[in-house]
Structure 1
Amino acid sequence: MATLRIAAASAHFGRDLEFDLRRIAKLVADAREAGAGLLVLPDAALGGYLADLRHPDPDALPPALDPDDPLLKQVAELAGEMVVCVGYCEAGGDRRYNAAVCVTGDGVLGRHRKVHLPAGEVAAYDPGDRFDAFDTPAGRIGMLIDYDKTFPESARSLALDGAEIIACLSAWPTSITNRAPRMAQDRQSRLFDLYDCARAAENQVVVASSNQTGALGGMRFLGQAKVVGPGGDILARTWSKAGLAVAELDVAAEIANARRVLNHIGERRPGSYRAGSG
């Protein structure tokens, strides 16, 4: 039995990149002390998320980092033997992407640019165009960012590419149009948990879901980091607090057990689906 400890982080990040790097260093140290082999940090952990999703200020966007920015190399150095997924704003020529990178001390293992952009984000970012899984010392991983996980095709694409673990990096806020008086009653709080559990259960994979906490501008973030097993059961969670959700499991064995009788990937009928439906 080869078990893996997975840590998903809830934490606050803003525009101060040096502060963000120090917070990442602390979370990496905490995850290492907990024995984690995989740490999933939130979306926009380097530079923070948008302060206003409806009308982003073009003069107050997160700093755009090159794919080989020294800060990302510092995160890789901090990771050492651990696999770490971290979100940031990526510069691509004259374009900007909401992006994530997965690293160890040996370098970059995989990258993802957020494909699905909610209405306000289109003013700040360009969309990515693919979902790819990649091999790591912690197993085969795929990454989703925020709104990506709302679409079943996103996680399914990664599962079909052999992903055993889906890292969902988020800066997911409470409802912007109809905020509830208590976070636990917020519509987006319910949906955030629902999508995490559904994406794990329908693909029979492990989901490690991170999120930001606190507030930035008019945005208030949910937290609710968690690790979800391939049956859709929450194995560990932070609720709305900052911290790490840590769970230990034999990923391959748990997936094999979940697929022993009903194998959702193997029992698909692609010929019966509409073209482009995944």
Structure 2
Amino acid sequence: MAPIRRVATIQWHIKELAIEENHSTACNYIRQAAADGAELAVLPEYHLSGWVPNDPLWGEQAGEAAKYLANYQALAKELKICIVPGTIIEKQAGPNEASLFYNTAYFISNDGSILGSYRKKNIWHPERPHLTSSAGERHEAVDTPIGRVGMLICWDLAFPEAFRELIADGADIVIIPTFWTPTDASPESLQHNPNSEALFLSSTITSRCYENTCGIIFVNAAGPKEHFLGMSQVTLPIVGPVSKMGTEEGVCVVDMDLGLLDIAERNYKVRQDIGKEDWHYVYRHSSLR
């Protein structure tokens, strides 16, 4: 595996329920990333329709997920670029004819094939009436042209256990599509610190890199700063963020030096310790025993 990987974070102001416009914007940005030599392009969570689950059209558009996934596969093959198309809301029939909605991230290889997928496990509290969790399914890494990769989604970032499972499965890079806003903090929290959520992200992303000797590609939605955080970034241990966007729309292409992961592991020996039979913090979900 080459130690340098060229990757692109893509963020923009996602327009609610404007699925064709958002898809076109995404494709244009992916083309820009490919022209700049990116091997991988990552989009935000909810990038096709935004987050408006109480609108009936949102549920209808979720039923079109397969078409847009196929479009991204064709684009990946055409441009010879890997794509993580943020997340795509998928609609499935549930019990008693009720619809279930899953928030799913896919890793599409540079030949158009799907190498892996992940359904959001840790559902943010306002999402729980609308989305179904992947619950007891394992967090699993996949081999890709840029290395061994794990995927998480948004609020999964808050759970160290998710990273530990991916690292135990050999992940070097963790990709996190996100729709994280300043107002995810409660009014009580914002009274103490109006930038509470930005502090959460900046401190947690860097900490996860250090404590797991992994790289993180974090991609968020962007737009007016009173409603959006942006902050899409590529972060590594030792150096922290090697790229970090503000709230602007656009593409950021950066070289990701995976050699830093080896330096961090030689220094901290985190993977070595969690791989031992007598590791102090053996953790398993009870349903996976």
Normalising by structure 1, what TM-score? Answer: 0.87
What residue in structure 1 maps to residue 91 of structure 2? 91
Distance across 2 between alignment mates of 1:185 and 1:244: 27
What residue in structure 1 maps to residue 12 of structure 2? 11
What residue in structure 2 maps to residue 169 of structure 1? 177
Shift of 1:273: 2.6
RMSD: 2.5
Distance across 1 between alignment mates of 2:32 and 2:180: 23
For residues 219-257 of structure 1, the C-alpha deviation after alignment (integer angstroms, 9 at most, x for no partner) is: 922111000013361100112222233321332x22111
Which stretches in structure 1 are left out of the alignment for 5+ residues? 51-55
Residues 205, 216 of structure 2: 8 Å contact kept: yes
Give the counterpart of 1:208 among 190, 204, 217.
Answer: 217
What residue in structure 2 maps to residue 74 of structure 1? 71
What residue in structure 2 maps to residue 53 of structure 1? none
Give the counterpart of 2:114 among 100, 103, 108.
Answer: 108
Distance across 2 between alignment mates of 1:33 and 1:159: 32
What residue in structure 1 maps to residue 166 of structure 2? 158
Which stretches in structure 2 are left out of the alignment for 5+ residues? 94-98
Number of aligned residue pairs: give it. 266
- Bigger mean CA offset, 86-95 vs 17-26: 86-95
For residues 179-205 of structure 1, the C-alpha deviation after alignment (integer angstroms, 9 at most, x for no partner) is: 859xx9421111122221111111111
- Bigger mean CA offset, 201-210 vs 77-86: 77-86
Shift of 1:112: 0.7
For residues 2-59 of structure 1, the C-alpha deviation after alignment (integer angstroms, 9 at most, x for no partner) is: 4211112221223121111111111101211221111111011122224xxxxx5263
Shift of 1:60: 5.6
Distance across 2 between alignment mates of 1:96 and 1:275: 29
Alignment CA distance shift 1:198-1:66 (3 Å): farther
SS at match of 2:41: strand
* Higher helix content, 1 or 2: 2
SS at match of 1:257: helix
- Bigger mean CA offset, 86-95 vs 164-173: 86-95
In structure 1, what residue type is equivalent to 2:235? V
Highest Rg: 1 or 2? 2
Distance across 2 between alignment mates of 1:155 and 1:256: 17
SS at match of 2:151: strand
Normalising by structure 2, what TM-score? Answer: 0.84
What residue in structure 1 maps to residue 252 of structure 2? 245
Distance across 1 between alignment mates of 2:55 and 2:46: 17
Residues 197, 232 of structure 1: 8 Å contact kept: no
Distance across 1 between alignment mates of 2:105 and 2:250: 20
